[in-house]
């Protein structure tokens, strides 16, 4: 196994420090065509790729989001800043949630705040969520350190040649369990938000 456990934790924390998201002020305040949208997303979300060849958003994905009512349709084939912000939400949600769950979450948001004239818009909502997420990075870092230390204290009686692998396996299992539990909570919350007819399916 070619993992340097002495630097592993610091490498992971460094990766967390690079998680920046898309700043609200960086999203163009002009309407864009599809090609411009995908180019912007590829550039701004490139750091979230696992592999270089991974696609952030494709034309087909965006068309499907509009077809499934996750994203309001473009206006004269152009996408506004609010379209872009909704697409960023979809991008993050789709890694852990089903299309139906994302629709349940976003449909009331887009219906009420997309191109809102009531003084509170998708842009305001995104700004607030962006700030909350940035403040959460420190808490995540602390949790990762705590989990890593617990994993390093496991399998102390295992054969020496296996101990390092088993401790990393333990670390991955603990991180995965955390994700699993939070996904369960998210799905429970979404089920409570869903219209009655959807909950009966």
Entry field: residues in the chain: 201
pLDDT over 90 (residue 7): no
Question: CA 62: distance to chain centroid?
Answer: 17
Report CA-CA distances (Å) from 3 to 130, 153, 184.
33, 18, 31
pLDDT digits (tens, 9 = 90+) for 22-31: 899 999 999 9
Q: Residue 199 — pLDDT band, cuts 50, 70, 90?
A: low
Q: Evaluate whether 193 touches 105 at the Cβ level (below 8 Å).
A: yes
Q: Distance (Å, rounded) from C-alpha 126 to C-alpha 118?
A: 16
State the pLDDT at residue 89: 95
> Which residue is it, tokens 């670390």?
171
Instruction: Give me the residue spans of the domains in the chain.
Output: 5-199
Higher pLDDT, 21 or 111: 111
pLDDT digits (tens, 9 = 90+) for 68-117: 889 999 999 999 999 999 999 999 999 999 999 999 999 999 999 998 77
Q: Which residues pair with 75 in a beta bridge?
A: 78
The region that residue 77 occupies, defined by phi over 0 for left and psi between -120 and 50 for alpha, beta otherwise, is: left
Q: Is the pTM of this model over 0.75?
A: yes
pLDDT digits (tens, 9 = 90+) for 35-59: 999 999 998 988 888 888 888 899 9
Q: Residue 34 — pLDDT band, cuts 50, 70, 90?
A: very high
Q: Distance (Å, rounded) from C-alpha 201 to C-alpha 128?
A: 34
Question: CA 10: distance to chain centroid?
Answer: 22
Which range among 13-17, 63-67, 162-166, 178-182 shows the weakest confidence by mean pLDDT? Answer: 13-17
């Amino acid at each position: 196994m070619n993992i340097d456990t002495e630097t592993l934790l610091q490498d992971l924390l460094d990766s967390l420090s690079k998680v920046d998201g898309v700043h609200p002020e960086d999203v163009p305040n002009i309407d864009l065509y599809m090609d411009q949208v995908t180019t912007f997303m590829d550039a701004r979300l490139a750091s979230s790729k696992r592999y270089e060849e991974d696609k952030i958003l494709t034309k087909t994905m965006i068309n499907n989001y509009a077809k499934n009512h996750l994203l309001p349709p473009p206006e004269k084939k152009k996408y506004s800043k609010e379209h872009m912000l909704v697409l960023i939400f979809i991008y993050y949600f789709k890694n852990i949630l089903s299309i139906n769950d994302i629709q349940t979450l976003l449909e009331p948001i887009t219906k009420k705040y997309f191109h809102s004239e009531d003084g509170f818009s998708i842009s305001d909502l995104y700004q607030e969520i962006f700030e909350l997420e940035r403040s959460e990075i420190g808490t995540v870092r602390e949790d990762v350190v705590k989990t890593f230390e617990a994993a390093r204290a496991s399998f102390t009686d295992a054969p020496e040649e296996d101990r390092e692998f088993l401790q990393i396996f333990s670390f991955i299992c603990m991180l995965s369990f955390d994700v699993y539990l939070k996904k369960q909570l998210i799905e429970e919350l979404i089920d409570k938000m869903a219209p009655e007819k959807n909950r009966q399916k």
